[in-house]
Structure 1
Amino acid sequence: MTLLSISKVRRTFGDVTALDGVSLDIREGEFFALLGPSGCGKTTLLRILAGFETLDEGEVTLAGADLTQVPAHRRPINLMFQSYALFPHLSVAGNIAYGLQRERLGKAEIKQRVDEVLERVGLTHAAKRRPQQLSGGQRQRVALARAIVKRPRLLLLDEPLSALDRKVRAEMQLWLKQLQHEVGITFVVVTHDQEEAMSMADRIAVLNQGAVEQVADPVTLYGSPATHFVADFIGANNFFSGTAVAGGLATDAFGVLPARGGTAAPGSPAILAVRPEQVSVSGGALAGTVVDVSFYGGLSRILVATGDKSVIVHQHGAPRVAPGDAVELGWAAEDAVLVRP
């Protein structure tokens, strides 16, 4: 069931078009990510949903009701800011209770709801501490607790994990996904970190220059990107340019390279995208020479020169080739896809 519907939303700032006809449907109980580089329009869209920004054209509805005329404080939506915006003079429990106190709920109900959410986010022991006495991950949990204690239908998160170090961020990604399932609230998260979006989201909208390039689940985005931009932005890829033909891509330098059909029509200009882990260095049709080998513990990254083209190959475990070795690159047709330029 669709909870949030965004239809042909457009927003400009002077000569800059931040959003150019964006349309999305977000389902009830979904963890949805808005992913894209800086300046692609994802934060502008989040602010429109929260009521902090107006739109020039289009429509936004929540459960069928028009949101555009509803002020921010009356929307059943909470926005968790990137900075967390905790009150330094209040305790953890005080920060979480603040929104409920503003709604003039009874003291007994406020205490019950605060206690429940403290237990849910694992901070019961820290209820009386101040934000400056907490770690970055704990402060993020307080900000989330403050957002979910009001039981919004929709929770918006703006780069929620960007202030955390890599190890804590990885832990928080798993915890945030688990929390979303437990509370049953629809989450919309804005991020420029593809790994973050891929690890947490049920579906992802990839934005570029104010427009939606593709909306899909993480596996589809990775394995079947619709455009060159998506294929380049999501993970590592090797690209070959040419013309889409039956069975693959016709190129001037390498002949016909194997690939399955994608979004490029036969006879049209196309780009073949193949992931480094799908390329083998034996038994293929492209002759090349190993230029560089890097070992990262569980993964070896191999750079191969074939003609004037460099190809990246990923192998599990220790490298089995060395710089200067002659190799033959190849891949199965089903492991490469043709996309629009």
Structure 2
Amino acid sequence: MTEPLVRIEAVSRRFGEIRALEQVSLEIRQGEFFALLGPSGCGKTTLLRILAGFEHPDSGSVTLDDADLLAVPPHRRPVNLMFQSYALFPHMNVAKNIAYGLEREHLPKAEIRERVDAVLATIGLTGLARRRPNQLSGGQRQRVALARAIVKRPRLLLLDEPLSALDKKVRAEMQLELKRLQHEVGITFVVVTHDQEEAMSLADRVAVLSEGRVRQIDAPVPLYERPADLFVADFIGANNLVTGMVGADGLQVPGVGVLPCPVPAAAVGRAATLAVRPERVRLGTEGGLAGVVRDVTFFGGTTRVAVDVTGLDRPLLATVAGATAVALGDKTRVDWSASDAMLLGND
């Protein structure tokens, strides 16, 4: 396993009565794409600003290569931050924008030219070096901002909601571009985002934050398939969540029946929440729960069907491949295998 580049240990930060971070500990490995994911106000941007040097924690430690990062002023840290707005200089062309940081370090002109040309080739904008930002598309401006950040060859590149200003199609293209670029340049990337799909598609590992605390750190697949708690299960992707009492043969829900799920012996007799992903739910089975189709939403490759089941306070969701034969108002049945569900404690 790759050695950690950054270690964050028991970091806390408050702003008056607001708890932004509470005893946050995590490690970021050399060369990985790491995502800080969570809703607005969860502390992810505060943590990013601490890494950049724009905030200082009230307690805790942050090291980079086992050296105290908090003791290093922002302009001397081997860390670059790419802002959400890109912050390009409008009066400078692309090449000048990229070269700005190197010129401030008074590097030889030949070295600056060589590094700028190399990074322009990496981001695929060699032919646009003389254009100004207002002559570029949103995706191209994002590439220039990235190039300006990586041309200084930082150990750590921080990205604050880097794709939020792009439309959906360009954002999908730039997700692929960011991943390719990160692998090519070999710099450790840390991205802050509230977009689950963005985090899951970009990152090698994701830290999910809520109310200033880390709820789970994992790779995208186990994070999706084995959420650590109710918050993660509800925040990461769509999920069917049903509360009841654990019995020997499943989750007992008053007015509904017994729902299939694995039952750990220690959980019997306790209140719990069953979680089952929509793609694991089957429609039109002979067994299962009877319901009425409340909504059908076609997404092209898949269809999301919402089914009202008597006794449940919200519809069960099922995702099926392609189009579906069921329509609004149809009676149907929903079911899933016990092994496709999981139980989560209610504490």
Question: What is the TM-score with the length of structure 2 in the denominator?
Answer: 0.94
* Structure-2 residue corresponding to 1:58: 60
* Structure-1 residue corresponding to 2:172: 170
Closer, same or farther: CA 92–265 of 1 in aligned 2, 3 Å: farther
* Structure-2 residue corresponding to 1:294: 297
List aligned pairs for 1:79-228, cutoff 5 A: 79-228=81-230
The CA distance in 2 between the partners of 1:180 and 1:22, in whole Å, is 26
Closer, same or farther: CA 146–261 of 1 in aligned 2, 3 Å: farther
The CA distance in 1 between the partners of 2:217 and 2:247, in whole Å, is 26
Shift in Å, 1:48: 0.3
Shift in Å, 1:247: 5.5
1:60-107, CA deviations, whole angstroms, 9 ceiling, x for partnerless residues? 011111111110011100000001111111111111111111111111
Checking the alignment, whether the CA contact within 8 Å between 2:205 and 2:219 is kept in structure 1 is: yes
Checking the alignment, whether the CA contact within 8 Å between 1:284 and 1:331 is kept in structure 2 is: no
**Matching of residue 327 in structure 1 with residue 332 in structure 2:** yes
The CA distance in 1 between the partners of 2:75 and 2:6, in whole Å, is 18
* Structure-2 residue corresponding to 1:11: 13
Checking the alignment, whether the CA contact within 8 Å between 2:254 and 2:311 is kept in structure 1 is: no
Please give the root-mean-square deviation of Cα atoms over the aligned residues, in Å.
Answer: 1.5
Matched residue SS, 2:282:
coil
Closer, same or farther: CA 147–231 of 1 in aligned 2, 3 Å: same
1:226-250, CA deviations, whole angstroms, 9 ceiling, x for partnerless residues? 1111111111111110234555423
Closer, same or farther: CA 213–284 of 1 in aligned 2, 3 Å: farther
Q: Which amino acid aligns with 2:53?
A: G
Q: Which stretch shifts more, 285-294 or 186-195? A: 285-294
The CA distance in 1 between the partners of 2:250 and 2:203, in whole Å, is 31
Q: Which stretch shifts more, 154-163 or 323-332? A: 323-332
The CA distance in 2 between the partners of 1:129 and 1:246, in whole Å, is 69
Q: Which stretch shifts more, 252-261 or 18-27? A: 252-261
Checking the alignment, whether the CA contact within 8 Å between 2:158 and 2:191 is kept in structure 1 is: yes
* Structure-1 residue corresponding to 2:311: 308
* Number of residues of Structure 1 aligned to a counterpart in Structure 2: 340
Shift in Å, 1:44: 0.4
Q: Which amino acid aligns with 2:107?
A: L
Q: Which amino acid aligns with 1:67?
A: L
Checking the alignment, whether the CA contact within 8 Å between 1:248 and 1:338 is kept in structure 2 is: no
Matched residue SS, 2:180:
helix
Shift in Å, 1:294: 2.9
Shift in Å, 1:324: 3.2
Shift in Å, 1:267: 4.1
The CA distance in 2 between the partners of 1:337 and 1:251, in whole Å, is 15
Matched residue SS, 1:221:
helix
Q: Which stretch shifts more, 293-302 or 172-181? A: 293-302
* Structure-2 residue corresponding to 1:340: 345
Closer, same or farther: CA 260–178 of 1 in aligned 2, 3 Å: farther
Identity %: 65
Matched residue SS, 2:117:
helix
* Structure-2 residue corresponding to 1:70: 72
Matched residue SS, 1:164:
coil
Shift in Å, 1:304: 1.1
Question: What is the TM-score with the length of structure 1 in the denominator?
Answer: 0.96
Checking the alignment, whether the CA contact within 8 Å between 1:79 and 1:156 is kept in structure 2 is: yes
Closer, same or farther: CA 27–265 of 1 in aligned 2, 3 Å: farther
Q: Which amino acid aligns with 2:322?
A: G
